[in-house]
Amino acid sequence: MEKKITASIIGTGSYLPSKVLTNKDLESMVDTSDEWITTRTGIKERRIAEDDEYTSDLGAKAAVRALSSAGKKPSSVDLIIVATITPDMLFPSTACFIQDKIGAKNAACFDINAACSGYIYAVEIAKRLVEAGSHDTILVIASEKLSSITDWTDRNTCVLFGDGAGACVISGENSGKPRVLYTYTGADSSAAELLMMPGGGTRFPASIQTVENKLHFLKMAGKEVFKNAVLCMYKASEKIMKKYNISIDEIKCFLPHQANVRIIDAVARKIGIEREKVYLNVQKFGNMSAATVAVGLDEVFKEWDLKSGDKILVDAFGAGFTFGSLVIEW
Ligand code: COA
């Protein structure tokens, strides 16, 4: 009888640009204050990539670290999936640029766009492919340069976002490493216009007017997005726990998307998990869209004192609205 494969995460890595933008720095850019940003979001600072540092550069650095922690050569990767809403270009894919940068010459490459839920969607795809036996080693990367689509004169949005990348290597080799036990993905697109970047696609191709009307920047209705975030993230956690019969007491670490500490607190309260089990990085990196939980997973794997059998619940929400969750067993 064939042995059943369960996808494992055999290595993780992350990369954050070195430039730090603090709330104090923002006070001199827009009409805001450290006190407002801290109390409304929990964010104290975020990282900003250099002008000549692209999404593929951030992603390639995270990928090299993930491969090194997995003990794998770039040539062993048979697929690269990049989750991003800030690709280097609309095409070719950022995954292709990363392939060249890291020398993963045997890999197929594509990008996915599920906004802040992108990493969870990508891990789900990778899990299914290795478990089907079609791929052995998949590099999942979430990389974002949100500073490139941020309107630095709009205080409603510019205080919230940051740049960064996280990556993991998913394998079917049953190594005993953390296993991706379950995945759940969903979407509710009835209010998609609450969070978007309208310009640059087929609806508003780039023109002088799209630039003048600032359509190449991220637009958001903050309050409505907040409410949807809490509902969708709660749903993503509830669905996976119900479907696979997991009780909240079994979860040793809750790793939610990091948009706002108040969203995280509300979701944690609704699912009934203790605060000390909740991972937080929003204070130091802001919201890095898809890269947020990817960076978070790398930090949890390296810094948390997890024991064999401990379960991590990952939960995200993003533009679309998309949402999703993972249960990973250490
Ligand atoms: N500094 C100071 N004041 C600001 C500000 C800033 N950076 N940004 C907005 N304000 C002002 C607004 O102009 C508004 O003023 P007005 O009432 O005079 O019009 C007021 O603050 C809004 O305050 P409030 O309604 O209390 O804000 P909030 O509690 O809804 O917080 C967000 C605003 C954006 C932080 C919050 O709605 C949020 O986090 N939303 C979700 C964002 C998100 O998660 N996005 C990504 C999803 S993946």
pTM of this prediction? 0.96
Which residues sit opposite 94 in a β-bridge? none
> Does the annotation mark 257 as catalytic?
yes
- Does residue 40 have its Cβ closer than 6 Å to ligand 1? yes
Question: CA 255 → CA 89, 190, 305, distances in Å?
Answer: 30, 26, 15
Contacts of residue 23, Cβ cutoff 8 Å, sequence gap at least 6:
32, 33, 34, 37, 38, 43, 44, 45, 159
Q: Which residue pairs, CB below 8 angstroms and at least 24 apart, start in 188-192?
A: 188/228, 188/232, 188/320, 188/321, 188/323, 189/320, 189/321, 191/224, 191/228, 191/321, 192/319, 192/320, 192/321
Answer yes or no: are the C-beta atoms of 76 and 137 closer than 8 Å: yes
Residue with tokens 């990363």: 98
Which residues sit opposite 32 in a β-bridge? none
Among candidate residues 109, 228, 257, 260, the one labeled active-site is: 257
Task: Please report the atom of ligand 1 found closest to the CA of residue 26.
Answer: 7
H or E, element range at 143 = strand 137-145
Per-residue pLDDT tens for 55-86?
A: 999 999 999 999 999 999 999 999 999 999 99
pLDDT for position 2: 63
Q: Over pLDDT 90: what percentage of the chain?
A: 97
Residue with tokens 């490139």: 148
Dig out the tokens for 34 from the structure: 């450290």
Q: Which domains are delineated in the chain?
A: 8-177 (3.40.47.10), 180-329 (3.40.47.10)
Answer yes or no: are the C-beta atoms of 288 and 146 closer than 8 Å: yes
Dig out the tokens for 228 from the structure: 């949807």
- Does residue 259 have its Cβ closer than 6 Å to ligand 1? yes
> Does the annotation mark 109 as catalytic?
no
> Does the annotation mark 287 as catalytic?
yes
Q: How far is the CA of 226 from the centre of ligand 1 (A)?
A: 10
Answer yes or no: are the C-beta atoms of 192 and 203 closer than 8 Å: no
Task: Please report the atom of ligand 1 found closest to the CA of residue 319.
Answer: 48
Per-residue pLDDT tens for 110-129?
A: 999 999 999 999 999 999 99
Question: CA 232 → CA 19, 202, 237, 251, distances in Å?
Answer: 32, 28, 9, 19
Per-residue pLDDT tens for 293-322?
A: 999 999 999 999 999 999 999 999 999 999
